Structure 1
Amino acid sequence: MTLDYEIFDLGDFALQNGAILRDAKLAYKLFGTLNATRDNAILYPTWYSGQHYDNEWLVGRGMALDPDKYCIIIPNMFGNGLSSSPSNTPEPYNAARFPKVTAYDNVRAQHRLVTEHFGISHLRMVTGWSMGGLQTFHWGAMYPDMMDLLAPFCGSAKCARHNFVFLEGVKAALTADGAFQDGWYSEKPHKGLRAAARVYAGWGFSQSFYREELDLKTLGYASLEDFLVSFWEGFFLPKDPNNLLAMLWTWQNGDISANELYNGDYKAALGAIKAKAYVMPGGTDLYFPPEDSQNEVAHMPNATYVPIPSIWGHFAGGPGTNPVDVKFLDDKLKELLAS
């Protein structure tokens, strides 16, 4: 079987918490070609449970992320099943023993990919949806001189307390299934995955989305139950629960100031971001409400608040679900790249 992605070997990778991720691997996909001066690269990290191919809806000829103009690098997040994850790490650090990985760890690994493997010293832009947005903010704070532009969309620089609580519900649903067996399941815990999907369903789309019955009228499902089973349970069932929990921990502990650079000073971390930024929340996002983005922009010296006018909730930002939102995002990325 031929893989459609590459693997960058990180070796024994020291994590932020002091643990070692042994023989760590970072999976990535490349679109386009790096130019002679190596200054046309765009980094586009993945999101919660997503893999590189789940990012491809925003890449294409004539789009902002045009492989004829730019070299677009999509690194897969640790825990997503392609980069080092509970599901693909050999014993003894497999499954429930997989170490805790932060967004800071992910971005340090990506920095090594960019600088050591590709020889890139400066990026044109870093952009990403959801947890990809979390990583985008980390890039801006950790390596403030390394990019011209930042465009986090439907994401945040720090996991809000309300967001943390929502994720506790997802975690509880996954782990309550008796088949989960504290992460040492021999058969996939279907009940837990289906329950987690139902928890997610109330948050991924907005109240207005459901009020307007867009699940039926636009997405074409036969009923609300059909949408919950086919879209949401169908989304979760192929995924590995330990992988989901590993990335969930990364999400809950996301904070651009939780490192030795900023020692918990969140405003200082935001203030250190030099790149010109468009911070683009979904207007009805229940995970990352626009007020959080306004607060971030208030402390960033070169940022503009650009809300996505959409009732598609968190899914205004991906993964290519609503063509109107895709066009809005693409137009704003083109505008930022042209500036």
Structure 2
Amino acid sequence: DATKFFIVLPDGIGHGKSSKPSDGLHAKFPHYGYIDMVEAQYRLLTEGLGVNHARLVMGTSMGGMHTWLGGELHPDFMDVLMPLASLPTQISGRNRVWRRMIIDAIRNDPAWEGGEYKTQPPSLRTAAEILWFMSSNPALRQNEAPTLAKADEALDKFVSGYVKTADANDVLYALEASHDYDPGPNLEKISAPLLAINSADDLINPPELGILEREIKRVPKGRAIVIPFSDKTRGHGSHTIAALWKDELVKLLKETEK
């Protein structure tokens, strides 16, 4: 309820208007991890804005992973937690491999020039292509691109838009930042009620792995929901379609009113 609570939407380190490699240091920018990002946001709230408690900590995708970590690192800071499109486990399996594909493509690209390129290296296009591949579901992509020509057109349109604003060093650092993400060993430390929401067609966090169902049992006040596949879901991108999960958020806040 924006009429009752302040909503803070920070840009994490390395993203948006926050400090990042493309601001000038390029590959000399300090390497950061997810824990750095979570702690920076915590200090922004507590030291910068004077906030000593949050009604809700919520995030999607990388922000969902930050939500898991925040619940462990600062368990008394929030009333409730709601991570979306994430898993409470170290980056591994296919989720690690697609990240490595982009990381390796950039670092091994001669045009990257150790991070001191004057124009964006071709590997940024490779990064965009892999992100397009992983971010939706097969049914939606088939519907969007039902022929060879339409598939090429859809991919080219996404890539051309992505490379206009993205930066190879920023992408590289952002993907390497997940190296220290591993909430698994400390899930029992999360004391606030937590509702995790994923979608059945998420290629990055596929439910068939059973990780969410297994690990949520270790969160003292945790529960998990997997949104069924439908014509309204968008694979990993389902996390930004509020209509799919807003009722669960309303329910969570009502259940935890004080």
Determine if the TM-score, normalized by the shorter chain, exceeds 0.5.
yes
Which residue, 238, 255, 260 being the options, matches 2:182? 255
- Corresponding residue for residue 219 of structure 2: 300
Greater helix content: 2
- Corresponding residue for residue 180 of structure 1: 112
Percent of counterpart pairs with the same letter?
31
- Corresponding residue for residue 165 of structure 2: 238
- 1:233 CA drift (Å): 4.1
Secondary structure, in 3 states, of the residue corresponding to 2:9?
A: strand
- 1:216 CA drift (Å): 5.0
CA contact 1:85–1:243 (8 Å) conserved in 2? yes
- Aligned pairs, number: 247
Cα separation, 1, equivalents of 2:161 and 2:8: 28
| Distance change (3 Å), C-alpha of 1:160 and 1:295 | farther
- Greater RCO structure (CA 8 Å; 6+ sep): 2
| Structure 2 gaps, min length 5 | none
CA contact 2:91–2:182 (8 Å) conserved in 1? no
CA contact 1:80–1:244 (8 Å) conserved in 2? no
- 1:236 CA drift (Å): 4.1
2:195 is the alignment partner of 1:271: no
Alignment of 1:1-339 (within 5 A): 66-89=1-24, 94-162=25-93, 163-189=95-121, 191-211=122-142, 213=143, 215=144, 223-256=150-183, 266-267=184-185, 269-290=186-207, 291-310=210-229, 311-318=233-240, 325-339=241-255
CA contact 1:125–1:147 (8 Å) conserved in 2? yes
CA contact 2:103–2:176 (8 Å) conserved in 1? no
Root-mean-square deviation (CA, aligned residues, Å) is 1.9
- 1:77 CA drift (Å): 1.0
Letter in structure 2 aligned against 1:111: Y
Cα separation, 2, equivalents of 1:158 and 1:95: 30
CA contact 2:238–2:244 (8 Å) conserved in 1? no
Deviations 1:187-232 (A, max 9, x none): 121x211111112222111223334x1x259xxxx81112111124
| Distance change (3 Å), C-alpha of 1:307 and 1:236 | farther
- 1:70 CA drift (Å): 1.6
Cα separation, 2, equivalents of 1:315 and 1:202: 12
Secondary structure, in 3 states, of the residue corresponding to 1:75?
A: coil
CA contact 1:100–1:246 (8 Å) conserved in 2? yes
- Corresponding residue for residue 50 of structure 1: none
Higher deviation after alignment, 131-140 or 230-239: 230-239
| Structure 1 gaps, min length 5 | 1-65, 257-265, 319-324
- 1:81 CA drift (Å): 4.4
Secondary structure, in 3 states, of the residue corresponding to 2:23?
A: coil
Secondary structure, in 3 states, of the residue corresponding to 1:179?
A: helix
Secondary structure, in 3 states, of the residue corresponding to 1:73?
A: coil
Letter in structure 2 aligned against 1:309: P
Secondary structure, in 3 states, of the residue corresponding to 1:87?
A: helix
- 1:95 CA drift (Å): 0.8
Greater strand content: 1
TM-score (norm 1): 0.68
Letter in structure 1 aligned against 2:91: A
Cα separation, 1, equivalents of 2:75 and 2:33: 19
Cα separation, 1, equivalents of 2:180 and 2:43: 22
Deviations 1:247-297 (A, max 9, x none): 1111243223xxxxxxxxx33x11110111110112111112232322331
CA contact 2:132–2:158 (8 Å) conserved in 1? no
- Corresponding residue for residue 322 of structure 1: none
Cα separation, 1, equivalents of 2:179 and 2:199: 20
